[in-house]
Amino acid sequence: MRRLWALPLVPLYAAGVAVRSAALRLGVEKVQRLARPVVSVGSLSAGGAGKTPFVIALARLMMDAGWHVDILSRGYGRTDTAVLRVDPMGSAERYGDEPLLIARDTGLPVYVAARRFEAGQLAERDSGADVHLLDDGFQHRQLDRDVDAVLVSSEDLSDALLPVGNLRERLGALRRATIFAVSADDDQVEAGLRAMGLQQPVWRFRREMVVPKIAGPAYAFCGIARPEQFFTGLEKAGMKLAAKRAYRDHYAFRASDLRILEQFADRTGASGGLVTTVKDWVRMGALGEKLAQTVPVHTVALRTVLEDKDAVMSLLETRLERARRD
């Protein structure tokens, strides 16, 4: 949904993006290179593109091929500013919800820092990986990369810049991409990219919601960028919703929020309990565990399945072999 009230702010945002791009191009802001190759996964949109499940799927594919992989991330929303290796048993407050989810799901080393180069330096002293996988890295251009995989949807191709729309850069930034990753269900996006004169290879993927079977209606809640996709997905999977509530993206749940959710589940007749995303559950931490002692809490995971895995690995091997020779 476009925020038309913010139209006067778009030129200011666009000017800021242009200044930063010029600083990188002219060398005012330095681009640093790690010793080992970097594969970046990113998007133009500010949230809801599905980058985290895609990173997990790509990391698993690379592991299955025998590669030693680690992940570098910003750790959005964390309060700790140190350069850290993520402890899978730690808190989202310290590491960020997405790095914590990736660490738990993959079992791989995950490193967080505002400057991903510093996260990579720690990784190269610590993990012994062959390649770094950079989470949400398309706009983090201070770190050089060998592959730039960008998730794109047909919605992106008709969207507007922040703060009116959801785009962090203009569509012309897609020229920097090495590879486009698009949903197999999105029939229009590849034609749209080609119409723009963009000829980079395309990886296709499918998204799957892992929805539990619940007896009775549930109260659904989440703090993600596109909550309606979550609610619609639950209903399409056959789940009956007594009520639903959306919080802002990366919302930091408090004890008072969870008490309210417990009360509303009772008032709305949600006999099946509460249902939320795995990312929200990770963010709730100990508060969620405490809530689950009084009301059932069910979690839903979003999985990405890459199609034509052989083609994905072949392209990566070619690009990274070239990077090693250089």
Cβ neighbours around 111 below 10 Å, total: 27
Q: Where are the beta strands (DSSP E) in the chain?
A: 38-43, 69-73, 84-85, 110-112, 131-135, 147-151, 179-183, 202-210, 218-222, 241-246, 274-277, 297-306
> How confident is the model at residue 4, as a pLDDT?
64
pTM: 0.93
| CB of 39 closer than 8 Å to CB of 61 | no
- How confident is the model over 84-129, as pLDDT tens digits? 999 999 999 999 999 999 999 999 999 999 999 999 999 999 988 9
Angle, helix 97-106 to helix 51-64, in steps of 10 degrees: 30
Angle, helix 51-64 to helix 309-325, in steps of 10 degrees: 80
Q: Which of 23 and 319 is assigned the larger pLDDT?
A: 319
Q: How confident is the model at residue 205 (pLDDT cuts 50, 70, 90)?
A: very high
Domains and CATH numbers, the chain: 4-204+305-325 (3.40.50), 209-304 (3.40.50)
User: Is residue 34 scored above 80 in pLDDT?
Assistant: yes
- How confident is the model over 3-25, as pLDDT tens digits? 765 666 777 767 887 877 778 77
- The stretch 208-235 carries a mean pLDDT of 95
User: Is residue 31 scored above 70 in pLDDT?
Assistant: yes
pLDDT mean across residues, the chain: 93
